[in-house]
Structure 1
Amino acid sequence: MRILVVEDDKDLNRQLTNALSQAGYAVDHAADGEEGWFLGDTEPYDAVVLDLGLPKKDGLSVLKEWRKADRAMPVLILTARDRWSDKVEGIDAGADDYVAKPFHMEEILARLRALLRRSAGRATDELICGPVKLDTRSSAVTVNDIAVKLTSHEYRLLAYMMLHAGRVISRSEIIEHLYDQDFDRDSNTIEVFIGRLRKKLGTDIIETLRGLGYRVPAAGETQPPRNDPKSDPKADSQSTARPAKSEP
């Protein structure tokens, strides 16, 4: 998942960006309201951490403009103001949650997980698809209760698809939500990551729909049959794709 942090305090901005990156998110950041508004208006973020006391354009104005433009991503407000009237104003402007400074970073991470769950219609931190379980709180992935080690990009891809289980997801959508704005995006790498996931998980929960994208079954659905690479050269064979760029 991809998160935007809009915070003018350089140290806090860096701390939030580092903590979210370590938690497995792709993170973009801005230091003023104008840049934050532009990124939020033009990029498809899964959630935003937004400070209210921003230079150039205050956070409340940014939030109101996003909502007026039908930008529906979950927004977690950060502010030094702790009056109940300020909280009400923020929620009425379209915020989904509110945290007063100072705060513990674990609280931010927990609240973001909750916002992402709710936006996807999920009730718990654990995502399950057949024998595969993914815990968004610990970033642990297991197959038949056996731990599986994934790279950061493989984890992000699997988490995004399982969070949106039952829905067909195009390669372009995956790219937009898997990488931050500074990453050299190449749709070919998605095919490589899909192939790696299928190999590491040892079970094909990822269905390829030719010309449309990828899909994992929703809860209660039967596992899809394994795709025949001969019928879709872009399905999952690493031998038909150029090597992926090295990950950080």
Structure 2
Amino acid sequence: MKILLLEDNETLANGIFKKLQDIGYVVDLFFNGEDGLYTLETSKYDLLILDLGLPGIDGIDIIKKLRSTKKNLPILVISARDKLDQRILGLDTGADDYLCKPFELDEVIARVNALLRRSRNQLSNIIKYNDLVFDSQALILKKENKIIELSKRELRIFEHLLLNLNAIISKENIVEHVTTVDDEFNPTAVETYISRLRKKLGNSIDLKTVRGLGYMLS
């Protein structure tokens, strides 16, 4: 899953960024509202973590612009604005959750996981597919209770296909969901990862190539 983090406190931002990356999320980080809004308008994300007091564009204005277009993007506000009326404003404007500073990083992770589960209408982090069991939070794939050794990128590609079951997903779409803005990753490299998934997962998956369009996990 891919997350955009907008926070102008570099120490806090880097702490959240590292924590999210360590557990396997793909994360883009910006420190001002203008860069963040532009990225939201040009890229796709599964969740936004947003500080309200951003330089350039206020977080509330970002929420308003988002909710006029990308209505379903989950938004977690992290803010020093801890007054009740400010929390109500953030939620009424369109935030899905509101966390007041200071907080523990583990609570941010817990709320991120909960929002992502809710956005996918999942009651847990466990997704079953044929004889495979995928834990989207721990980023672990098992078969017959044995862990299948996959790289983080292989796991993220498999997860993206799994969350879009029976849909044709282009190479470009896969790249957009498993890379950050700073990654140098050619869409043709997707073929290599797909080949590895087929080899490692064998008959457990039905992964089709749709010529000229992309891939489909059935």
Q: TM-score, normalised by structure 2?
A: 0.92
Counterpart contact for 1:130–1:205, Cα < 8 Å: no
Percentage of matched positions with identical amino acids = 35
Q: Give the length in aligned residue pairs.
A: 217
Q: Does 1:212 align with 2:213?
A: yes
Which residue of the partner structure matches residue 67 of structure 2? 67
Task: Report Cα offsets for 1:218-239 as digits up to 9, x if no partner.
Answer: xxxxxxxxxxxxxxxxxxxxxx
Name the CA shift for 1:167/1:107 in 2 (closer, same or farther; >3 Å).
Answer: farther
Which residue of the partner structure matches residue 238 of structure 1? none
Name the CA shift for 1:26/1:52 in 2 (closer, same or farther; >3 Å).
Answer: same
Aligned-partner Cα distance in 1 for 2:210–2:121: 24
Shift of 1:215: 2.3
Counterpart contact for 1:41–1:71, Cα < 8 Å: no
Secondary structure at the counterpart of residue 187 of structure 1: coil
Name the CA shift for 1:207/1:42 in 2 (closer, same or farther; >3 Å).
Answer: same
Counterpart contact for 2:171–2:188, Cα < 8 Å: no
Q: Which one-letter code corresponds to 2:144 in the other structure?
A: N
**Mapping for residues 159-198 of structure 1, pairs under 5 Å:** 159-198=159-198
Instruction: Select between 102-111 and 53-62 the one with higher mean Cα deviation.
Output: 102-111
Name the CA shift for 1:214/1:155 in 2 (closer, same or farther; >3 Å).
Answer: same
Which residue of the partner structure matches residue 29 of structure 1? 29
Shift of 1:47: 0.9
Shift of 1:121: 2.8
Shift of 1:41: 1.6
Aligned-pair RMSD on alpha carbons? 1.6
Which residue of the partner structure matches residue 138 of structure 2? 138
Counterpart contact for 2:130–2:205, Cα < 8 Å: no
Secondary structure at the counterpart of residue 134 of structure 1: strand
Q: Which one-letter code corresponds to 1:110 in the other structure?
A: A
Task: Report Cα offsets for 1:91-120 as digits up to 9, x if no partner.
Answer: 121111111112222222222222222222
Secondary structure at the counterpart of residue 188 of structure 2: helix
Task: Report Cα offsets for 1:66-92 as digits up to 9, x if no partner.
Answer: 222335321111011223322221112
Counterpart contact for 2:156–2:178, Cα < 8 Å: yes
Which residue of the partner structure matches residue 108 of structure 1? 108
**Mapping for residues 40-79 of structure 1, pairs under 5 Å:** 40-70=40-70, 72-79=72-79
Counterpart contact for 2:63–2:95, Cα < 8 Å: yes
Q: Which one-letter code corresponds to 2:212 in the other structure?
A: G
Structure 2 unaligned segments of length 5 or more: list them: none
Higher relative contact order (CA 8 A, sep 6+): 2
